[in-house]
Structure 1
Amino acid sequence: MFRQKRVVLIVILIVAALFYFSGLSKHITLDSLKEHQQTISCFAGENRLAAAALFMAVYVVQSALSLPGAAILSLAAGAIFGTVMGTIYAVTAATIGATIAFIVTRYLFHDAIQARFGHRLAAINREMETAGLSYLLFLRLVPIFPFFLINLAAGLTRLPLRTFITGTLIGIIPGGFVYVNAGASLSTITSPGNVMSTRVLGSFALLGLFAVSPVIYKKFARKF
């Protein structure tokens, strides 16, 4: 078992190293997307299924290996496929990639972490088993922690896989829609960081609080 885990880890490290040292990371930028938008859009127009499959494959790999470029890919989805289909492709691919990262993390490190720190993580494990969906929706809706970090951390807990998939799929739709919709008007975007306005972030924070409100209510109800 240990040997199999080591092989999986080595493969992941090799793929990640190839991404960085091959120079691919230099092409996943806003400037590169704008420069090649017309060419990519023409290809997608003539090869809709192939373009969608290729885009989703790239997005799945990016999310699964926690590589940079998620925001650019979401903008690209809007620029290439439009707001509706772009959101569907981006959210679906991101969820699949996140699920792969979750499963791999659980396979590689969950048992070791639980064996060493299980007594310290007992309370967290109970919360994840009973109210994991609420917590995950909050983390997905409110961009406090990086997307990839949530994938990895969740894999180390006892959060059920079904709950992770559901919470991720639902939780990333609002943010994904905002980026994809912005990508549909790519020429107006000067920086990926400018897509999320203070008002939008505030709206997501309210949605996150609404998602976690049942947990808060139960905790207060127990005290009275």
Structure 2
Amino acid sequence: MEHTQVQPKGSALRHAPLVVIVIIAAIGAFTLKDYLSFETLRDNREALLAFRDANFFGIMAIFIAIYFAIVAFSLPGAAVASVTGGFLFGLGLGTTFNVTAASLGAFAIFFAARAGLGKSLAAKMQAGEGTLKKIKDGLHANEISYLFLLRLVPAVPFFVANLLPALVGVKFRNFALTTVLGIIPGALVFTWIGVGLGEVFDRGESPDLSLLWEPQIIGPILGLSVLAALPIAIKAVRGKKEL
């Protein structure tokens, strides 16, 4: 009798982290979009640069914490944060801090989702037959390739690439590896934009994020996507030949 009472409570608690993320994300979407913007960065850039020069490690910690929160709670402003990393810290350190913060935020979503919905869904896939079994087997046979594709294809929203792997039961070590390596190309582009942000503001303009879609930028990223998809295609062709 006691067991039946405790189990639903524990089940509900497992969903609590993901529920908190969803609630904060919904609130943030309506309340923070006007604050986490390039206009806010432009209006406060002198104060930020002065604070950086006076307390580098302090602003580094604050920047990583804010970027982590933006990713972990799927708040608006991830692009602004990435560009800010380049503006404050330059290309090398900026990319390092951007990748670190974004990866930690992605890990937080992964664990929150896996603890709740991911645990039950993965169990259903493990016990399932037919289509569910084929999906599970295909995913785990090409896990790293699929995860790299989620990271590298620009059309996939970042929060989807964080949430989906947890819901289908991928290994965390593979998720972590592909997250850290997979977001580097995009992080380099946004950080690079941020490096020249001061001159853009001086001209009274806003940063042009459409640079990501320029052929010389998107081409190599799509090339990496093709390389990530290649093992999947080869296995699929071999499988048909064996049949």
State the TM-score, normalizing by the size of structure 2: 0.83
Distance in 1, matches of 2:61 and 2:112, equals: 23
Residue matched to 2:239: 222
Which deviates further from its counterpart, 203-212 or 9-18? 9-18
The question of 1:95 aligning with 2:106 is answered no
Q: How far off is 1:13 after superposition?
A: 4.6
| 1:38-63 CA-partner distances (Å, limit 9, x unpaired) | 21111112111111111111111111
Residue matched to 2:113: 105
Q: How far off is 1:89 after superposition?
A: 0.3
* Aligned amino acid, residue 20 of structure 2: V
Distance in 1, matches of 2:38 and 2:178, equals: 29
Q: Within 5 Å, give how 1:72-151 maps onto structure 2.
A: 72-114=80-122, 118-119=128-129, 120-151=131-162
1:34 to 23, 42, 51: 42
- Provide the aligned C-alpha RMSD in A: 2.1
The question of 1:19 aligning with 2:33 is answered no
Q: How far off is 1:211 after superposition?
A: 1.7
In structure 2, the CA distance between the partners of 1:127 and 1:77, relative to structure 1 (3 Å rule), is same
Residues 37, 79 of structure 1: 8 Å contact kept: no
Q: How far off is 1:122 after superposition?
A: 2.4
1:202 to 219, 225, 241: 219
Q: How far off is 1:18 after superposition?
A: 5.4
Gaps of 5+ in 1: none
Q: How many residues align?
A: 223
Identical aligned residues as a percent = 32
Q: How far off is 1:191 after superposition?
A: 4.4
Residue matched to 2:3: none
In structure 2, the CA distance between the partners of 1:33 and 1:129, relative to structure 1 (3 Å rule), is same
Which deviates further from its counterpart, 126-135 or 160-169? 126-135
Residues 30, 192 of structure 1: 8 Å contact kept: no
Displacement over 6 Å in runs of 4+: none
Gaps of 5+ in 2: 1-9
Q: How far off is 1:116 after superposition?
A: 5.6
**1:78 counterpart SS class:** helix
* Aligned amino acid, residue 144 of structure 2: L
